[in-house]
Every structure is written in C-alpha cells, then in structure tokens.
Structure 1
Amino acid sequence: MATLPLEQVRLDYLFRGSDASTADLDLYHAVLEFRLEQAAPDQVNLGHAGVLAGKDAHATPARQGCALSGAATLSLEQVLADIRQLPSLPAVVGELVKTLNNEFADIGQIAKGIAKDQSLAARALRVANSPFYGIQHEVASIHEAIVILGFRAVGSLVMAASVMGYFPLPVGIAFDLTRFWRHGIGTALCARALARASGGDAETAFTVGLLHDIGVLLLATTRPTHYAKVLAWRAANDCLLVEAEQAVLGFDHAQAGEALASRWGFPAGIARAVALHHAPGGGGDMVAVAHVANILAHALDLAGDPRARVPPLDMETWRRLGLDRATLKALLAGIEQEHENYCALLAR
C-alpha cells in the first residue's frame, strides 16, 4: 500500500476540497517542498490517513459550500450600529493611522506620543530588541528604534500592539483568541513578505494582513450568541468560515471588518483590502497581497488550527503578483522565524 510523508498528508488535509488550479498547485507545492525539507521522514499509510493526497496524481473532491440555513437573525445594519458604539483606538494610534495618508505628518510628535504610552512602547521595544533584527546593542527608546528600524516599521509594531489589545476575550463563546492572533500576525508577515517580493508597500501590507480578519473578532465579541452558531455551522458542514457566516448571518466578517477599519480611520485602500480578501477580483495590488497572504498563512497553518481549510486561490490574483513557486518558497523560512518572534513579543 502506498505511503506518503506525514507533512504531505497534513497539507493535503488543509487543502481538502480545493480545486486543482495552477494557482493552488503552485502555492501547494511551494509549501509542501518547504515542509518536506524541514520534516523528519515520517511515513503515513494512506489506507489509514483518512484524507486524499497527491494533488498531481489524485483527483480531489469538489469543495462543498455551506447550504443556506434560513432567515438570518442578525443584520449587517445592527453590526454597523455596534461599531458606532465602540470606543476609539488610543490617540497615538489614531495619529499613526493619519500618517498613512499624510507624508507631512509630524513624526517627532507622534514618536513622543508612543513613548508616553508605556504599554505600547514596551511591546514595540521588545520586538525591536528581538534577535531577528540583529541589533548589537539594546534599543532603549522609541526614538532610537525609529532611527534604526524606520518610522513606518515601528509604527506597524505599535499599531499591531494596540489593535491586539483593543478587544477583550470574547465571553459566552468558545473562541480561541491566541489562535486568532497567531493567524493575524502570520497573515501580516506573509503580506509584508509578498509585498516586498512584488514591489509593493510592505508596511501597509503588514497592517492589511493584521486587520484582514478583524471582523471575526468584532462579531465574536459583540455578538457571541450569533457567532457561536456560525462556528457550530462551520464544524457541522466542514466549510470555510466565510461560507458559514453567509449561511447563518447573510453577511460575512470581511464586510464587518471593512466597516470597522473605516470607523477607525484607516485609508480606503486598507478598508477595501479587508473587504475583498476572500473575493479579490479586480481589487488592485493590495487586495491581491491580502488574498494570497491569508491563503499562505492558512497553508502554513500559522494559527495552529489543523481543522481549518485553505481558502481557494484566485488565479488572476496570483498572476497579478508575478511570483513563481521558487520565489514563494524562498520567503517561507523567514516568515516562520518572524512569526514565532512576533507572537511571543507582542503577547499581552
């Protein structure tokens, strides 16, 4: 009976139901080759694996979407009303958001504001002092971090720390906040790497990646009873989260996330990328980065959720980035190394 490496079986399970398009295969094989180079040569008997494997040699089943569950009990208009009642982000983060649209912003003044928020400053400095950046002496101040790393890189760290601390742990629902942010940070790092490789704006891409699923956390926090039904529907139907949301609620987290990003004052391009990361057709370069980064983070299972599915990859969006399998594979080791650093250092 045929055997396959354990890492291939795991990856085939994550990609279960994906169509066998060239785009899916390129990303699949880039991740598979990377994983096999890392992994011990464990073998799994396919007769007991319970999943299909070998995307080149075997047909995969058509992806089954979620059937509609009936009349929705929550409207997007109600969620928009919830958003209007939420507190603003910290003032310093609001100033950072404004710099995304204003090249003449007073960076010195913003740096002083960051330094005054001891919690945000401390978490940003922990990342700046991590071995990943290779700085030979301790970075003791936000001003010094800006000089060494650049204002936008430090701004990204501060924004990440603030957004990650904004929502409390959802109550009344089985929601893994740590896993959620592991995926968010992973997508942010994938987006930054993809933007650099394709000539895009790396720090804006990082922010988009961090925010792409913020609608999930919004819904789980403000409407836990409704969102518990979404999670139960996904588990029962083995479908994508966005499909379960549409089936149960009639709208999805990308729509809710776009509204929240706009409410927080993020530029329209960032809000648009949040809105379209599952349906990127014709959305532009930053939408393309968000779409592929989310899929790559799922394929690498950076959240540590082996039950999740890898969403389908849009062929035209993949082509828009102009990356090939070898280029993508070369990015993966750096992404994983950064991911563990960021998750540890940005933890509350």
Structure 2
Amino acid sequence: MNLSSSSHIDKHILLDDVIKQIRDLPTLPAVAQELLRDLNNEDTSLDAICEKIALDQSLAAKTLKLANSSVYGANSKVVTLQQAVAMLGVKNVKNLIRMTILSNSFPASRCRGFDFKAFWRHSVATAICSELISRTLHMKHDFAFTAGLLHDIGRLVLVTRFPDEYERVIAYQLQNNCHMIQAEQEVLGIDHVAAGLILAIHWHFSDAIQDAIRGHHKPEIKDLNSVAGIVHVANSIAHALDLSQTENDLVPLLSKATWDTLALTEADYLSIFRETELRFEAMNQVLL
C-alpha cells in the first residue's frame, strides 16, 4: 500500500530550515578554495600543481596510485609526483583534486540506508561521462566534469543535515519504487535540487554549475547553460551503466529534446560508454 502524502505533510522540511543548516556548514577550507581557483586557470603549470599536491599527503598518495593503475599503463613504477603528474596530464590530476576536495567536505553521516560510496561512485561516473560528452562536442571538458561531479550535491546536504528525515525518504522510495527525487518531494517537501542550489550559492559556485544542478532533471528550463543538458544525459547514462552498484537503481527519465539537441551518433555513444567504464574503474580504485 502506498504511503499517502497527507501522512508526511506535517513533517515537511521548510526551505528556511535548509538555508539555516547550510549557513552552519563551513565554507570550503581556504587551501581548497585556492586550489580549486588555480585549477580553473588554464595557464597553471605542472610544477605549480605538483607543489600544491605535495602539501597534502593523502592527495599525493592518490595521485601516485592513479598513475600506477593499469588503466594508464606505466611501463615502470611511477615514484615521484612530477612523474605522476606528467603521465596523467593536467586534466586528470585536476579532476582527481576536485573529487578529493569535495568528497572530504562531507563525511559520512548517521543516515541509515544511505550508501555514501554508491553516491560518490555515481557522482564520479556522471562527471567522467559529462566530460567525455563535452569533449565529443568540442566543448570545455574541465567545466563539464565539475558540473557532473556536483549535480547531486544537494542530496548530501539533506542526508548529512537531516539524517532522520532522509531515512524516511529512503523507506518511501523503496516502498513505492519511485525515483528518489519524487520521494524527497513527497516526504520532505523539498528535493536535492533545491538544497543543492542553496549550497552552490553559499559556496560561490559559478552560474553554469548552478544551472547544471538546477537542470539535471529538467534540462528544458529556459535559459540554462548548455552544460545542464550534458549533465542530464550523463546522469542517465551513469545510472544505466549501473556504475554506482546500487540495488534497484532506477534510470531517470531522459529528455528526448535534450538527447536530440546533443545530436551524437550511436558510435559516439558506444565510445563514451566504453571510456566512461574504463576511466571510472581507475578513479574508483583510487578514491573509493
């Protein structure tokens, strides 16, 4: 039997409650903010990136581990950061840094039933797929990667700041076999898109990143940055490839208009699917 909406209406979370909780979240650490700003500078040198990575022991270890993974096929063991960064390339190292900073910003909470590893697997897969779609369309790759990585960030806000309430969302979704965003709206009266937008403003994310969060379920909203459509399609592909390894995962509804607008060929998509899986496996081994 389906749960009725009336049984939840008195327990809805108010938008003001979410805003207050997000205001209580720390801003990104100054070092992280500086590093993320540097990453957006296309003139940042390999040496400068190595110097930043060397300041963080965990990040340095992850960089070396990724460079030595089978995906990048080193003929001999990579032992220095300079070797690792040179082998991986600036783009891959920047993406690794972005993922590390953001995953460290939200430690696991006490919300029963929420799989943090699955969440980050999906976020990383969507980021990689977004970048590959963007590259195929000859657009800015780094930008799409970050947008894909952050598209569901509002879910972490709800899970970490309202864990008890989000347990009811998970229970509702399982009982009704609906998409998680529908369960959030029904149980909480607010969804991860709204929460993500509030966080994006609090953390001073760019307008385009905000558009990707706002439009990843509704890419036809007027005047959205084109990256929103890319993330929308990448999100569905990541779900369809089941890279989060979540039981009973549902693929979100895909906008035919957005799919048609991208105008990619079947061969393009097959290549994107294969490379998404390959690159995801390497990142998954390092981060998760």
Task: Give the TM-score taking structure 1 as reference length.
Answer: 0.74
Q: Structure 2: give runs of 5+ residues left out of the alignment.
A: none
Structure 2 residue 213 is the aligned partner of structure 1 residue 301? no
> 1:330 deviation in Å?
2.4
Structure 2 residue 214 is the aligned partner of structure 1 residue 286? no
For residue 338 of structure 1, what is the aligned residue in structure 2? 279
Structure 2 residue 62 is the aligned partner of structure 1 residue 128? no
Q: 2:104 aligns with which of 155, 165, 181?
A: 165
Q: 2:114 aligns with which of 175, 186, 189?
A: 175
Higher helix share: 2
- Could you give the per-residue CA deviations for residues 17-48 of structure 1, whole angstroms, max 9, x where no partner exists? xxxxxxxxxxxxxxxxxxxxxxxxxxxxxxxx
* SS of corresponding position for 1:150: helix
Structure 2 residue 154 is the aligned partner of structure 1 residue 215? yes
- Could you give the per-residue CA deviations for residues 171-203 of structure 1, whole angstroms, max 9, x where no partner exists? 042211111111111111211211111222222
For residue 37 of structure 1, what is the aligned residue in structure 2? none
For residue 129 of structure 2, what is the aligned residue in structure 1? 190
Aligned residue identity for 1:290: V
> What is the 5 A alignment of 1:207-286?
207-281=146-220, 282=222, 283-286=224-227
> 1:107 deviation in Å?
7.1
Q: 1:317 aligns with which of 226, 251, 258?
A: 258
Contact (CA 8 Å) 1:99, 1:105: kept in 2 or not? yes
For residue 89 of structure 2, what is the aligned residue in structure 1? 150
In structure 1, what is the Cα distance between the partners aligned to 2:137 and 2:72? Answer: 22
In structure 2, what is the Cα distance between the partners aligned to 1:260 and 1:152? Answer: 25
In structure 2, what is the Cα distance between the partners aligned to 1:262 and 1:336? Answer: 32
Structure 2 residue 144 is the aligned partner of structure 1 residue 205? yes
In structure 2, what is the Cα distance between the partners aligned to 1:343 and 1:175? Answer: 18
In structure 2, what is the Cα distance between the partners aligned to 1:194 and 1:228? Answer: 34
Aligned residue identity for 1:119: S
Contact (CA 8 Å) 1:120, 1:162: kept in 2 or not? no
Aligned residues: 283
Aligned residue identity for 1:338: R
In structure 2, what is the Cα distance between the partners aligned to 1:271 and 1:96? Answer: 20
RMSD over equivalenced CA pairs, Å: 2.4
Contact (CA 8 Å) 1:126, 1:345: kept in 2 or not? yes
Contact (CA 8 Å) 1:67, 1:247: kept in 2 or not? yes
- Could you give the per-residue CA deviations for residues 279-328 of structure 1, whole angstroms, max 9, x where no partner exists? 11142321011100110011111111231211111122112212133321
> What is the 5 A alignment of 1:59-78?
69-78=8-17
Change (3 A) 1:258 1:140: farther
Change (3 A) 1:303 1:225: same
Task: Give the TM-score taking structure 2 as reference length.
Answer: 0.88
Q: Structure 1: give runs of 5+ residues left out of the alignment.
A: 1-63
In structure 2, what is the Cα distance between the partners aligned to 1:324 and 1:306? Answer: 30
In structure 2, what is the Cα distance between the partners aligned to 1:332 and 1:286? Answer: 19
In structure 2, what is the Cα distance between the partners aligned to 1:211 and 1:249? Answer: 21
> 1:72 deviation in Å?
4.8
Change (3 A) 1:93 1:108: farther
Q: After TM superposition, which residue ranges in structure 1, 4 or more long, deviate above 4 angstroms?
A: 66-69, 100-110
In structure 1, what is the Cα distance between the partners aligned to 2:82 and 2:92? Answer: 12
In structure 2, what is the Cα distance between the partners aligned to 1:145 and 1:285? Answer: 33
Contact (CA 8 Å) 2:46, 2:86: kept in 1 or not? no
* SS of corresponding position for 1:311: coil
Q: 2:35 aligns with which of 89, 96, 110?
A: 96
When structure 1 is superposed on structure 2, of 236-245 and 259-268 the one drifting more is 259-268
Contact (CA 8 Å) 1:280, 1:317: kept in 2 or not? yes
Aligned residue identity for 1:317: T
In structure 2, what is the Cα distance between the partners aligned to 1:172 and 1:149? Answer: 36
The sequence identity of aligned pairs, in percent, is: 38
